[in-house]
Structure formats: structure tokens, C-alpha cells
């Protein structure tokens, strides 16, 4: 009799799955880089004194927060080529990974804009003024005084955002990206749907370990950059 | 762009809202008390349970919800099958309404999120408050109910709001359990004529309305609750 559950499938599938992490990382990494840049612009818009820019940036963040990743993913996947077609551009043959990166860039930018904004606001304005008054140029004041402090505040949220992005990225398989989840589904399909549970458990283990590593890494970074920080001991 | 389809499908997508809300409400109903109790075990460091809660939170936060769905959706029938065969109960497990799986999955993941929310909210309340309440003769239960929870709730509210919105968004993954909610209904409607762009625009609008309404309600409630908030010295 065949067993319903065979743990050996878990250990055997992990080595097969791991090479496909490369795709996951590549997509997540590009989204993080592009999303941070775009998020910085959004945060700048939110902090600017122009009302219209503020409104637009806030509206964008609200919309992104209210849209499930999977919906955004499909909207980009089907919507962008359809939109481009109106202008006579054919986008049907470009790589799926591009659509995934676009989607998660849009989403990560919304998260990052809030992270950056709150970190910036947490720094007392007096610090900048004091720096300028002792003769630093505004750029120097930002670089030497405001930025290092804001970075420490932003780090934990940035780490959480990254973990969230990695997890939402698991949905990329739905539009046919062969990342680690996509590969897992291929393995299951080639087993004629038997032992799906074991493969999924293997996937969960991979993601779990990754998240713990990222968490630990950011805790370390925070300790490193937070050397000069003096606040109440809360933990 | 097929505008007639766009309008028609909007109502199809809208008809999935009750299911999405039902799943959200049931999951919250289970997760709020359970998350609170487990947060208390974390704070009071109750042996064994506190460690298990920690691992549980770490697992849920560390794995994508779609994978949690996959695991629960494929493990429960397996477990049920073994149990049913053992006791010789004739019941077709494939007849179970997928909504039950959805309840389990989303309650499972939301509980973990809420443990962390309550834990951080409770840790903002000074210990002296509980001691003061004890000193004036309140029982621990009374102290929690009258002194600590009202204050912690104000702190926790924004995070509970985020958790609720995330939960509503996560119900869009119900398609993996063939749960007929917003996304699946509109997608099925789109399958006929390949009108995916229109269908996803509809889904997008429905979620936008749903989530911004929920956010608005929470904001109102937060304002109401903030009466209890005491200005920090």
C-alpha cells in the first residue's frame, strides 16, 4: 500500500527547488531596488509643500494598499500589453519576469514611501536647523545628520517590507513565472498530483528559513547602524 | 475594451463580496480572542505555550499565505481520510464546502498576526497600571477589562485595521481552494470571452471600494476610541 504521506519527498525536493531561488531573488531584488527609488520619489512628493503632489502620492499609496497582489499582478500582466497595443506597441512576447518586477515595484514603492516618510518625520526638524546653523550646507546636514538617524528608524520597517515582498512574490507563479513556487507546481504536476503536501511543506521550509535569515540580518544591521542611538530601553 | 462586459462583470464581482466578508468576519471572530489569549501567554511567559506561540508566529510570518493555503488545503483532507477510515465513517470528504478550509486558513494566519499586534500593544501599557489596579482592590480580570484593554486597544487599532485589510486582500487567494469569492467569480466570467483586462479592472475596483470602506470605518472607530487616550507626559 502506498503511503499517504512520505516525508522523504520533503528532503528530496528541496535540492531540486533551491536552484530556482535564483529567479525568486532576481525578481525580488530588482523590485526592491526599483521600488525603493520610486518610493523615495513618492515620499518626496508626500513631504513636499505642493498640495497636488501630496494628494496624488497619498492616493497612490491608498490604492496600492487596497489592491491584492494577485489582482495587481494580473492587471499588469493583461492590462499593460492591452494598453500598449492601443499605441501600436507589441508587448505580448516580453518575459513574464518583467511583468512581475513591474507589479512588485509598484507595490513596494507604496510601502517604501510610507517607511521613508515616517522615518524622515521622526527626526526632529531642529537637528537639521542646528546643523545648518553651525555652518553645514543643507546637503551635508542631510547626509551627516538626518540620513544616518532616519536610516536606523527605517531599517526594521524596510526589513519587514522586504519579507512581505518576498512572500507576495510567491504569487508570481500564477502568471507563469518559473520561480521556486512555479517549479514546485511543476514537480507536483509531474507526480500526477501525488505527494503535493510534501512539496508544499518543502516550499514552506525554504521560505521560513529565508525570512528568518532576513530578519536576523536586519536586526544585525540595526545594531550596527544604531550604535550612536540613545533612546529609552524598551525591550 | 468591452464596456458592456465591464459593467456586467462588475456586478458578478460584487456578488462575491458577501463570501469575502463572511470569511473575513469569521476569521477575525476566531482570531481576535485567540490572538489576545496567546499574546498574554507570550507576555507572561507561560512555559511551553509561550514557546509554541513563538514558533507559530514565526512560521506564519515567515511563509507566504498561498503556501499556507496549499498546505492546509492538501493536508486536512488527508488527515480526515485517515481518521474517517479508522472509525469507518462513510463521508465523502470531497463534498466539504471550501469555505470551511478558508475559515481555517485565514483564522490560522490572522491569529498569528494578531498575537504580535496585541503583544506590542500590551507592552506599551506600563506594568505599574496593573499593580495600581491590584492595589485599589480590582481583580486581575477587572484590571484587564477596565484599565488595560481599553488603553491597549487604542494602540492596537491601527494595526488591527491593517490586519483586517490584509485579510480581505488575502481572501482573493481563495481561488486556490475554489472558493467562489470576488476574484474567482469575475475570472470565471472572463474565461468565456477572454475578457481578462475588463474582469481584473472590475475586481480591482471592488477591492478598492471594499478596503477603503473598511479603512474608513476603522478610522471613525479609532477617533471614538481615542477618547480613552491619555496624553503622554
pLDDT, position A235: 45
Q: Would the pLDDT of B217 be above 50?
A: yes
Distance between B220 CA and the closest CA of chain A, angstroms: 17
Q: From the list B58, B172, B215, which residue is nearest A68 (CB)?
A: B172
pLDDT, position A4: 66
pLDDT, position A228: 65
Question: Is B74 close to A63, i.e. CB distance below 8 A?
Answer: no
For residue B188, name the pLDDT band (cuts at 50, 70, 90).
confident
pLDDT, position A232: 53
Q: Would the pLDDT of B183 be above 90?
A: no
State which residue of chain A sits closest to B81, comparing Cα positions: A4
Query: By percentage, how much of chain B surpasses pLDDT 70?
Result: 97
What's the whole-number mean pLDDT along residues B183-192? 85
Q: Would the pLDDT of B56 be above 90?
A: yes
Q: Give ipTM to 2 decimals.
A: 0.84
For residue B223, name the pLDDT band (cuts at 50, 70, 90).
confident
pLDDT, position B231: 56
User: Looking at the complex, does the CB of residue B128 fall below 8 Å from at least one CB of chain A?
Assistant: no
Render chain A in DSSP notation, one character per residue.
---S--THHHHHHHHHHGGGHHHHHHHHHHHHHHHHHHHHHHHHHHHSS-HHHHHHHHHHHHHHHTS-HHHHHHHHHHHHHHHHHHTT---TTS-HHHHHHHHHHHHHHHHHHHHHHHHHHHS-HHHHHHHHHTT--HHHHIIIIIHHHHHHHHHHHHHHHHHHHHHHGGGGGGGT--SHHHHHHHHHHHTTTTTHHHHHHHHHHHHHHHHHHHHHHHHHHHHHHTTT-------
Which of A3, A7, A24, A74 should we substitute to test contact with B (largest number of B Cβ atoms within 10 Å)?
A: A74
Q: Name residues of chain A where pLDDT drops below 50.
A: 1, 234-235
pLDDT, position B21: 92
pLDDT, position B88: 79
Query: By percentage, how much of chain A surpasses pLDDT 70?
Result: 94
> Which residues of chain B are within 8 Å of residue A114 when distances are taken between CB atoms?
none
Say how many C-beta atoms besides its own lie within 10 A of residue B77's C-beta: 17
What's the whole-number mean pLDDT along residues B11-40? 92
Let me know if A27 is exposed, middle or buried by CB neighbors in 10 A (0-12, 13-18, 19+).
buried
Question: Is B63 close to A4, i.e. CB distance below 8 A?
Answer: no
- The grid coordinates of residue A161 equal 517590507
Distance between B34 CA and the closest CA of chain A, angstroms: 23
For residue B39, name the pLDDT band (cuts at 50, 70, 90).
very high
> Which residues of chain A are within 8 Å of residue B82 when distances are taken between CB atoms?
4
Q: Are B98 and B17 in contact (CB under 8 A)?
A: no
| Residue carrying C-alpha cell 520533503 | A10
pLDDT, position B233: 44
For residue B232, name the pLDDT band (cuts at 50, 70, 90).
low
User: Looking at the complex, does the CB of residue A212 fall below 8 Å from at least one CB of chain B?
Assistant: yes
Q: Are A27 and A12 in contact (CB under 8 A)?
A: no
What's the whole-number mean pLDDT along residues B80-109? 85
Question: Is A204 close to B68, i.e. CB distance below 8 A?
Answer: yes
Could you give the CA distance from residue B108 to residue A173 in angstroms, rounded to a whole number? 23
State which residue of chain A sits closest to B72, comparing Cα positions: A197
pLDDT, position A195: 80
What's the whole-number mean pLDDT along residues B60-84? 88
Could you give the CA distance from residue A229 to residue A235 in angstroms, rounded to a whole number? 15
Could you give the CA distance from residue B150 to residue A205 in angstroms, rounded to a whole number? 38
pLDDT, position A1: 37
| Residue range B132-141, pLDDT digits in tens | 999 999 998 8
* SS3 assignment, position B78: helix
Distance between A45 CA and the closest CA of chain B, angstroms: 22
pLDDT, position A82: 84
Which of B75, B108, B200, B201 should we substitute to test contact with A (largest number of A Cβ atoms within 10 Å)?
A: B200
Let me know if B67 is exposed, middle or buried by CB neighbors in 10 A (0-12, 13-18, 19+).
buried
Say how many C-beta atoms besides its own lie within 10 A of residue B95's C-beta: 6
Amino acid at each position: 500500500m502506498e503511503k499517504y504521506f512520505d516525508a522523504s519527498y520533503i528532503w528530496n525536493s528541496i535540492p531540486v527547488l533551491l536552484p530556482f531561488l535564483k529567479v525568486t531573488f532576481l525578481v525580488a531584488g530588482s523590485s526592491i531596488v526599483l521600488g525603493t527609488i520610486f518610493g523615495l520619489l513618492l515620499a518626496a512628493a508626500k513631504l513636499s509643500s505642493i498640495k497636488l503632489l501630496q494628494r496624488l502620492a497619498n492616493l497612490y499609496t491608498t490604492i496600492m494598499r487596497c489592491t491584492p497582489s494577485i489582482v495587481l499582478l494580473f492587471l499588469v500582466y493583461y492590462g499593460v500589453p492591452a494598453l500598449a497595443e492601443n499605441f501600436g506597441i507589441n508587448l505580448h512576447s516580453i518575459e513574464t519576469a518583467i511583468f512581475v518586477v513591474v507589479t512588485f515595484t509598484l507595490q513596494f514603492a507604496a510601502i517604501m514611501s510610507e517607511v521613508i516618510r515616517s522615518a524622515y518625520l521622526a527626526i526632529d526638524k531642529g537637528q537639521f536647523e542646528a546643523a545648518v546653523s553651525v555652518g553645514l550646507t543643507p546637503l551635508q546636514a542631510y547626509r551627516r545628520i538626518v540620513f544616518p538617524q532616519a536610516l536606523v528608524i527605517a531599517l526594521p520597517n524596510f526589513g519587514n517590507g522586504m519579507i512581505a515582498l518576498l512572500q507576495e512574490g510567491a504569487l508570481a507563479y500564477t502568471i507563469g513565472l518559473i520561480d521556486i513556487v512555479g517549479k514546485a507546481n511543476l514537480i507536483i504536476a509531474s507526480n500526477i498530483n501525488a505527494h503535493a503536501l510534501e512539496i508544499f511543506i518543502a516550499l514552506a521550509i525554504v521560505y521560513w528559513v529565508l525570512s528568518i535569515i532576513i530578519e536576523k540580518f536586519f536586526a544585525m544591521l540595526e545594531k550596527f547602524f544604531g550604535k550612536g542611538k540613545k533612546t529609552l530601553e524598551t525591550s | 475594451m468591452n464596456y458592456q462586459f465591464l459593467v456586467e462583470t462588475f456586478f458578478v464581482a460584487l456578488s462575491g463580496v458577501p463570501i469575502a466578508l463572511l470569511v473575513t468576519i469569521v476569521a477575525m471572530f476566531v482570531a481576535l480572542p485567540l490572538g489576545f489569549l496567546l499574546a498574554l501567554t507570550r507576555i507572561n511567559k507561560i512555559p511551553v505555550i509561550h514557546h509554541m506561540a513563538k514558533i507559530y508566529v514565526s512560521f506564519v510570518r515567515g511563509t507566504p499565505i498561498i503556501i499556507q493555503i496549499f498546505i492546509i488545503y492538501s493536508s486536512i483532507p488527508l488527515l480526515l481520510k485517515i481518521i474517517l477510515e479508522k472509525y469507518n465513517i462513510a463521508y465523502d470528504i470531497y463534498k466539504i464546502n471550501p469555505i470551511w478550509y478558508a475559515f481555517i486558513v485565514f483564522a490560522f494566519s490572522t491569529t498569528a498576526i494578531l498575537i504580535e499586534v496585541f503583544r506590542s500593544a500590551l507592552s506599551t501599557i506600563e506594568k505599574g497600571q496593573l499593580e495600581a489596579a491590584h492595589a485599589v482592590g480590582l481583580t486581575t480580570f477587572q484590571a484587564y477589562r477596565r484599565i488595560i484593554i481599553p488603553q491597549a486597544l487604542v494602540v492596537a487599532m491601527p494595526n488591527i485595521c491593517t490586519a483586517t485589510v490584509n485579510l480581505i486582500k488575502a481572501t482573493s487567494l481563495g481561488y486556490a481552494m475554489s472558493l467562489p469569492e470576488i476574484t474567482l467569480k469575475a475570472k470565471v466570467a472572463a474565461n468565456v470571452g477572454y475578457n481578462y483586462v475588463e474582469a481584473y479592472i472590475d475586481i480591482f475596483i471592488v477591492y478598492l471600494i471594499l478596503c477603503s470602506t473598511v479603512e474608513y470605518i476603522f478610522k471613525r472607530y479609532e477617533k471614538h476610541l481615542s477618547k480613552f487616550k491619555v496624553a503622554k507626559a
